[in-house]
Every structure is written in structure tokens, then in C-alpha cells.
A and B are shown apart, each in its own frame.
Chain A
């Protein structure tokens, strides 16, 4: 009976956490779009969205409703099943990968310990990579199914780019895995607790980014390419490919790709925070409830910094040429990734023998 109650509680807890996380993620996606329009506008000396709500804060809602009521066009020669499946797949996969991201410590409620994470898999990192790399399918299928030339080229380019940079993405984090000795995203944060001291004075938090600067660089550049953002947004190169793989999509199917892209940005930023910037770690003070909430705030702040950096780059950098892009991925980033793995393993073997 007790076991049954336990299982019951576990299920309810999971469902509540999933709904809260999905709600937060959807809202975050909507407001990252808003923030991007605002920040890019300010970079270009414009105002950005201003009329829908104060400072355009209701703009995402208005955009969503507009997408919903737009005509849903299916191109005449399209492969209908795949054409419908691609945006659905993009959306589903983007929102599945958030499941293993821990966004805080844990707290006590009704005598149960509740972790601020949907589920703590012991292969969390592999799970995130597995799900996000499945996202290539949605783009390849979207490009192919419309039976139109621009989407086809966009889809092909995008798939080639994403699989190329996935290698570096994977290699960049190997160093962190060596330091932490686990694939669980909660376990990855544990070795980053505390400070490095100089003459007894704490001066640097023990974040992995200070031990793995090269690894972080490789990971972050590859992550930008994985999410198809400027300066790696060749698949959406408006000037040459119209809209890339989603040229033939309209109404909410089009919006799905955008939601997926921004959700992936959030996931990748969460992962960068966890792996390299100490996750939810930060100064703790005050009563119990504050000590539960503060880590979540630190985590969100760090993720926000990454998201802002994404937007900042969009407002600053031009786009790569395609051959430069492929050459950079294969000839620069990949060797750097291998170098990082070899260097880190040498140092760790040295220290542990």
C-alpha cells in the first residue's frame, strides 16, 4: 500500500513538474523572441515592437494568434504525411530535451524530497544529445517533403551543417565528463561547488569553464551552429534561399519551426550553464524558502546571459559563406576538439597517478 502511494506521488509530482517546466519554457520562448526583436532593434537604432501592450510585451501573444488564424497551405505536390510530420517532430523533440535539465537543488514537501528537475537520468547528457540530434530529421524532412527547390537546398545544407557541427559539440564536452566522471547532469554540477583560493581568499568559483576554456569555446561555437543561428544561419539565408527549409510552410506549421529553434536555443544555453558555468550554484542566504528559490534564480540568470549573447551576436556578426562554414567545422573546430580531449586526459592522468 505504501509502495502504491509512493508511486502515486511520484506520478503526480512528475506531471506537475512537466506542466510547470513546459509552461515556463513556452513563455521563455515567446519572450526570447520579444527580447530578440527589442535588442536587435536597439542595436540598429530602432524601437522594435512597441504598440501591443506596454513596450510591446503582448507582441508574442498577438503573433501567436495571428499564426493560428493564417491560411494553412499545403503545397500541391508535397508528400502530405511527411509535410505534416516535420513541424510536429521539430516541436516535440525540442520540448522533450528539456526533461533532464536540472534547474535547482531539491526541497522537502509533505515528507518527500522533490528535485527541481523532471527526471535525473544517469545518462542525461547522452539523452539530450540523442534527442537534439534527432532534430536534424525534422529539418531534412521539411526540406524534402515540400517538393520545392529552395526548401530542398535549405534542408540539405542545414542537415549537412548540423551533422558536421554535432561532432565538435560532442567532443567539446568530453573534457567535462573526464572531470566529473558522470553523464548525469546533476552529477556534472557537483564538482563545481566551491572556490579556488589564493592565499586563503576565494577568488574564482570552481566552474568548469576555467578548467576547460577550449572545451567551452568548441562546445559553444558548435552549439550556435547546431541551433542554426547567426553567424551560422546558412539554412535560412534569406538573400539566397528565401527562407531555407521552411519556405513552403505557413500558419502555425511555420511557427512550430521557430518555437523549436528558440526552445533549442534555451536547451543549449541550459546545457552550457550546467556543464561549464556551475549550473544553479551561486551565493545562498536567508530563510529556507529563499535557499530553495535562489538557485533557480541563479540558473535562470546564467541562461539569460547566454540567450542575450545569442541575440547580441545576431545584431553584430555577418553570415559565413557555405564553404567557409564547412571548412571551419571540419578543419578548425574538430581538431581543436580532439586537442582538448588529448590535453585534458594528459593532465588528469598526470594528476591522478
Chain B
């Protein structure tokens, strides 16, 4: 029996080929009438001021970091959930403590105001 991952590889090749082909055809057959106004970045009809490589709200970084923390912990629950039926109360108590520690961090983050978007 071949690996079940081979069809995924085949599909990746087919889909990537399809995507590239459509984008290529679209770029070739589309009309071409360029002008400097058309190629300028959109800014509600006025001449663009500066460029978009500026600074943005630190909240986005915060969300990013919190996501990494909680997502790793959420993914850690998966293998536990799959074998849970054979773990009985021991598995429950261990994971209960784990989630309790996690929730302590969560409450701390909430109290610190990291979850409030407008401050």
C-alpha cells in the first residue's frame, strides 16, 4: 500500500498548476492600457500621501503573541483528547490542572487589559 500522503502531493501539483495557469492566462489575455494614475495606490481619489510602510498599532503584535501562546496549548489538547477514554480520572485531573494553569495566565492577560482593543 502506498502512503496516503501521495494523493495530497498529486493534488498540490494539480491545484498549483491550475492556479498558475489561470493567473498566467488572465495576465496574457487582459487588456493593457497603463497610465501613472491607474498604477498609483488607491487613496479615495486624492494623491497618495507617503507610502504604506509606516507603523501600525501595537495591539496587532499583542494579538499575535497571545495567539501563539494559546494555540500551542490548544493543539496540545488534541493528542490528549484522542486517547482520553483510556486515561479515566487520571487524565481528567492532569488536564484539569493544566487548563487551570492556562486559565491563570488567561485571567492575568485579561486583567492587564491585553484583550481590550480600545484603551
Contacts and interface: CB of A to CB of B under 8 A. Distances in A.
Interface of A: 6-7, 10-11, 14-15, 17-19, 22, 67-77, 84, 87-88, 91-92, 95-96, 99, 118-122, 126-127, 146-153, 156, 159-160, 163-164, 166-167, 170-171, 174-175, 177-178, 181-183, 242, 247-248, 251-253, 256, 322-323, 326-327, 330-331, 334-335, 338, 341-342, 345-346, 348-349, 352-353
Given A72-B30, A349-B88, A18 B19 contact: no
A76 B8 contact: no
A343 to B, nearest CB: 11
Contacts, number: 221
B83 interface: yes
B78 A118 contact: no
Contact of A177 (B22, B51, B78): B78
Given A22-B15, A72-B26, A167-B74, A160 B60 contact: yes
Contacts of A342: 96, 99
User: Which 10 A-B pairs have CB atoms at the shortest separation, nearest pair first?
Assistant: A148-B41, A252-B26, A323-B117, A177-B81, A14-B7, A349-B92, A119-B7, A163-B67, A76-B39, A91-B19
Given A147-B41, A253-B26, A166 B67 contact: yes
Interface of B is mostly: helix
B115 interface: yes
Contacts of B116: 323, 327
B112 to A, nearest CB: 13
Nearest to B8: A99
Contacts of A87: 23
Given A22-B15, A178-B81, A68 B26 contact: yes
A17 B8 CA distance: 11
Contacts of A120: 4
Contacts of B89: 349, 353
15 contacts: A11-B2, A11-B10, A71-B30, A71-B31, A71-B32, A118-B7, A120-B4, A160-B64, A166-B71, A170-B75, A177-B82, A181-B83, A248-B41, A345-B96, A349-B87
B85 A181 contact: yes
B22 to A, nearest CB: 6
Nearest to A120: B4
Nearest to B117: A323
Contacts of A252: 22-23, 25-26
Given A96-B8, A170-B71, A352-B88, A22 B51 contact: no
Interface string B42-68: 111000100111001001100110110
A187 to B, nearest CB: 10
Given A252-B23, A346-B92, A75 B12 contact: no
A182 B36 CA distance: 57
B63 A163 contact: yes
Given A156-B56, A341-B77, 12 more contacts: A11-B6, A15-B14, A18-B7, A71-B31, A87-B23, A92-B19, A118-B7, A126-B78, A127-B8, A170-B78, A171-B74, A323-B116
Contact of A322 (B52, B53, B82, B117): B117
B103 interface: yes
Nearest to B67: A163
B69 to A, nearest CB: 10
Given A119-B8, A160-B60, A70 B85 contact: no
